[in-house]
Structure 1
Amino acid sequence: MSLLHIAILAPLLYAAVAGMFGLKVKRLHTGWIVLPLPVVIFAYFLSRIPVVQQKGGELYEIPWIPSLNIQFSVVLDGLSLLFSLLISGIGMLVVLYSIYYMDKKKEAVHRFYVYLLLFMGAMLGVVLSDNMMVLYGFWELTSISSFLLIAFWYHRERSRYGAMKSMLITVFGGLAMFTGFLMLSIMADTMSVRELISQSAEIMNHSLFIPAMLLLLLGAFTKSAQFPFHIWLPDAMEAPTPVSAYLHSATMVKAGIYLVARFTPVFAGQQVWFWLVSGAGLCTLIYGSVKAVKQTDLKALLAFSTISQLGLIMSLFGLGSVSAYYSGTPEALYYTKATTAAIFHLINHATFKGALFMVVGIVDHETGTRDIRKLGGLMALMPITFTIAVIGAFSMAGLPPFNGFLSKEMFFTSVLNAAKLDFWSLDTWGVLIPVVAWVASIFTFVYSMMLVFKTFRGTYKPKELMKTPHEAPLGMLIPPVVLASLVVILGFFPGLVSHSLIEPAMAAVMPSLLSEGEQFDVHITFWHGWNLEIMMTLGVIVFGFIIYQLLGRFRLLSTPLSDRFTLNRLYDRSLEAYNRGSRRITKIYMTGSIRHYVIYIFAAFVLLLAYSIVQSGGLSVDVSGFAPISFYEAVVIIALIGSVLVLPFVQNRLIAIILTGMSGYMVTLFFVLFRAPDLALTQMIVETVSVMLFLLCFYHLPKLSKEQVKPSFKWVNAVISVAVGIMVTMLALGAASNPMFTAISDYYLEQSKPLAGGKNVVNVILVDFRGFDTLLEIMVLGIAALGIYGLIKIDSGDEILGFGARRVDTLLPGSNDVILRTISKLVVFIILTFALYLFLSGHNSTGGGFIGGLMTAAALVLLSMAFGLNISQKIIPVNYRTLIGAGLLIALLTGIGSFLFDAPFLSHTFDHFMLPLLGDTELATAVLFDLGVYLAVVGVTMTIIYSIGRDN
Structure 2
Amino acid sequence: MIYAVFAPLIITLLIPLLSKWKERVHTGWFILPVPILIFIYFVQFVGENFTPHSESYSWIPSLNISIDFYLDGLSLLFVLLISGIGSLVVLYSIYYLHKSEQLKQFYIYLYIFMFSMLGVVLSDNVFVLYSFWEFTSLSSFLLIGYWHYRERSRYGALKSMLITVFGGLSLFGGLITLSVITETTSIQAMIEQKDLIVNHSLFPLILVFILLGAFTKSAQFPFHIWLPDAMEAPTPVSAYLHSATMVKAGIFLVARFSPILGGEPSFFIIVSLFGIVTLFWASFMAVRQTDLKGILAFSTVSQLGMIMAMLGFGTDVAIFAAVFHILNHATFKGSLFMIAGIVDHETGTRDVRKLGGLMTFMPMSATLALFGVFSMAGVPLPFFNGFYSKELFFESAIDLPGFSGAFVEFLQQAIPYIAVIGSIFTFVYSMYLFFSTFRGKYKEHELKTKPHEAPLGMLISPSILVLGVILIGLFPNMVNESFLAHAATAVFGDGFHAHEVKFWHGWESPALRMSLIVVGVGTILAITRKKWTSVYTVFPRRLSFNELYNYIVDSIEKGSTKITETYMTGSIRHYVSYILGSILIITGAILFITNGVTIEFDDLAPITIPEILVGLTMAIAAIASIFTNNRLSLIIIVGVVGYGLSVLFVIYRAPDLALTQLIVETVTVALFLLCFKHLPELKNLPSHPGVKSINFLISVGFGVLVTLIGISSHSSKLFSPISEYFIEESVPLGGGHNVVNVILVDMRGLDTLFEITVLGIAALAIYALIKLRHDKEAK
On whether the aligned pair clears a TM of 0.5, the verdict is: yes
Q: Distance in 1 between matches of 2:426 and 2:671?
A: 67
- Seen in structure 2, the aligned counterparts of structure 1 residues 560 and 97 have a Cα distance that, compared at 3 Å, is farther
Amino acid at match of 2:525: I
Check if 1:486 corresponds to 2:481. Answer: no
The answer on whether the counterparts of 1:169 and 1:222 sit within 8 Å (CA) in structure 2 is yes
Q: Distance in 1 between matches of 2:504 and 2:282?
A: 29
Alignment equivalent of 1:565, drawn from 540, 543, 547: 543
- Seen in structure 2, the aligned counterparts of structure 1 residues 558 and 627 have a Cα distance that, compared at 3 Å, is closer
SS at match of 1:628: coil
- Aligned residue number for residue 615 of structure 1: 593
- Aligned residue number for residue 740 of structure 1: 718
Alignment equivalent of 1:218, drawn from 192, 212, 218: 212
- Aligned residue number for residue 179 of structure 2: 185
- Seen in structure 2, the aligned counterparts of structure 1 residues 241 and 308 have a Cα distance that, compared at 3 Å, is same
Q: Distance in 2 between matches of 1:525 and 1:577?
A: 54
Please show how residues 451-600 of structure 1 align to structure 2 within 5 Å: 451-511=433-493, 513-514=494-495, 520-530=497-507, 531-556=509-534, 561=539, 563-600=541-578
Please show how residues 12-91 of structure 1 align to structure 2 within 5 Å: 12-23=9-20, 25-49=22-46, 54=49, 56-91=51-86
- Aligned residue number for residue 436 of structure 1: 418
The answer on whether the counterparts of 2:726 and 2:743 sit within 8 Å (CA) in structure 1 is yes
SS at match of 1:73: strand
Alignment equivalent of 2:374, drawn from 385, 394, 405: 394
Q: CA deviation at 1:93?
A: 0.8
Q: CA deviation at 1:792?
A: 6.5
Amino acid at match of 1:292: A
- Aligned residue number for residue 276 of structure 1: 270
- Aligned residue number for residue 903 of structure 1: none
Q: Distance in 2 between matches of 1:676 and 1:765?
A: 15
Q: CA deviation at 1:558?
A: 6.8
- Aligned residue number for residue 919 of structure 1: none
SS at match of 2:418: helix
- Aligned residue number for residue 398 of structure 2: 416
Cα deviations across residues 292-331 of structure 1 (Å, max 9, x unaligned)?
A: 11111111000010010000000000001xxxxxxxxxxx
Q: Distance in 1 between matches of 2:766 and 2:698?
A: 27
Q: Distance in 1 between matches of 2:49 and 2:654?
A: 62
SS at match of 2:478: helix
Cα deviations across residues 355-395 of structure 1 (Å, max 9, x unaligned)?
A: 00000000000001111111111112111111110111111
Instruction: Using the TM superposition, name which of 520-529 and 257-266 deviates more.
Output: 520-529
SS at match of 2:623: helix
Amino acid at match of 2:485: E
Q: CA deviation at 1:652?
A: 1.8
- Aligned residue number for residue 120 of structure 2: 126
Amino acid at match of 2:81: L
SS at match of 1:706: coil
- Seen in structure 2, the aligned counterparts of structure 1 residues 788 and 716 have a Cα distance that, compared at 3 Å, is farther
Q: Distance in 1 between matches of 2:200 and 2:352?
A: 54
Alignment equivalent of 2:732, drawn from 754, 758, 761: 754
Q: Distance in 2 between matches of 1:252 and 1:43?
A: 21
Please show how residues 909-928 of structure 1 align to structure 2 within 5 Å: none
Q: CA deviation at 1:563?
A: 3.6
- Aligned residue number for residue 301 of structure 1: 295
The answer on whether the counterparts of 1:648 and 1:714 sit within 8 Å (CA) in structure 2 is no
- Aligned residue number for residue 336 of structure 1: 316
Check if 1:360 corresponds to 2:345. Answer: no
The answer on whether the counterparts of 1:293 and 1:558 sit within 8 Å (CA) in structure 2 is no
- Aligned residue number for residue 778 of structure 1: 756
Instruction: Using the TM superposition, name which of 557-566 and 396-405 deviates more.
Output: 557-566
- Seen in structure 2, the aligned counterparts of structure 1 residues 714 and 633 have a Cα distance that, compared at 3 Å, is same
Please show how residues 243-392 of structure 1 align to structure 2 within 5 Å: 243-320=237-314, 335-392=315-372
Q: Distance in 2 between matches of 1:375 and 1:75?
A: 47
Q: Distance in 2 between matches of 1:665 and 1:12?
A: 49
Q: CA deviation at 1:796?
A: 7.1
Check if 1:627 corresponds to 2:609. Answer: no
- Seen in structure 2, the aligned counterparts of structure 1 residues 630 and 496 have a Cα distance that, compared at 3 Å, is farther
Please show how residues 546-945 of structure 1 align to structure 2 within 5 Å: 546-556=524-534, 561=539, 563-707=541-685, 716-788=694-766
Check if 1:7 corresponds to 2:4. Answer: yes
- Seen in structure 2, the aligned counterparts of structure 1 residues 16 and 225 have a Cα distance that, compared at 3 Å, is same
TM-score for both structures, normalised by structure 1:
0.78
Instruction: Using the TM superposition, name which of 144-153 and 774-783 deviates more.
Output: 774-783
TM-score for both structures, normalised by structure 2:
0.95
The answer on whether the counterparts of 1:126 and 1:139 sit within 8 Å (CA) in structure 2 is yes
SS at match of 2:70: strand
The answer on whether the counterparts of 1:271 and 1:424 sit within 8 Å (CA) in structure 2 is no
Cα deviations across residues 800-822 of structure 1 (Å, max 9, x unaligned)?
A: 9xxxxxxxxxxxxxxxxxxxxxx
Amino acid at match of 1:733: I
SS at match of 1:49: coil
Amino acid at match of 1:285: L
Amino acid at match of 1:523: E
Q: Distance in 2 between matches of 1:258 and 1:652?
A: 67
Alignment equivalent of 1:163, drawn from 145, 149, 157: 157
- Seen in structure 2, the aligned counterparts of structure 1 residues 472 and 644 have a Cα distance that, compared at 3 Å, is same
Q: CA deviation at 1:126?
A: 1.4
- Seen in structure 2, the aligned counterparts of structure 1 residues 623 and 792 have a Cα distance that, compared at 3 Å, is farther
**Gaps in structure 1 of 5+ consecutive residues:** 321-334, 801-950
Q: CA deviation at 1:708?
A: 7.6
The answer on whether the counterparts of 1:234 and 1:300 sit within 8 Å (CA) in structure 2 is yes
Q: CA deviation at 1:709?
A: 9.3
Instruction: Using the TM superposition, name which of 125-134 and 83-92 deviates more.
Output: 125-134
Q: CA deviation at 1:255?
A: 0.9
Q: Distance in 2 between matches of 1:683 and 1:57?
A: 59
The answer on whether the counterparts of 1:184 and 1:212 sit within 8 Å (CA) in structure 2 is yes
Q: Distance in 1 between matches of 2:768 and 2:580?
A: 28
Q: CA deviation at 1:101?
A: 0.5
Q: Distance in 1 between matches of 2:535 and 2:361?
A: 30
- Aligned residue number for residue 911 of structure 1: none
Cα deviations across residues 17-71 of structure 1 (Å, max 9, x unaligned)?
A: 2034314654222212221221122222223335xx6463222222222222222
Q: CA deviation at 1:287?
A: 0.5
Q: Distance in 1 between matches of 2:81 and 2:654?
A: 58
The number of equivalent residue pairs is 775
Q: CA deviation at 1:594?
A: 2.5
Q: Distance in 2 between matches of 1:458 and 1:789?
A: 59
Amino acid at match of 2:433: L
Instruction: Using the TM superposition, name which of 676-685 and 384-393 deviates more.
Output: 676-685
Q: Distance in 1 between matches of 2:591 and 2:540?
A: 58
Amino acid at match of 2:744: L
Q: Distance in 2 between matches of 1:43 and 1:708?
A: 77
Cα deviations across residues 195-219 of structure 1 (Å, max 9, x unaligned)?
A: 2222121122222111121011111
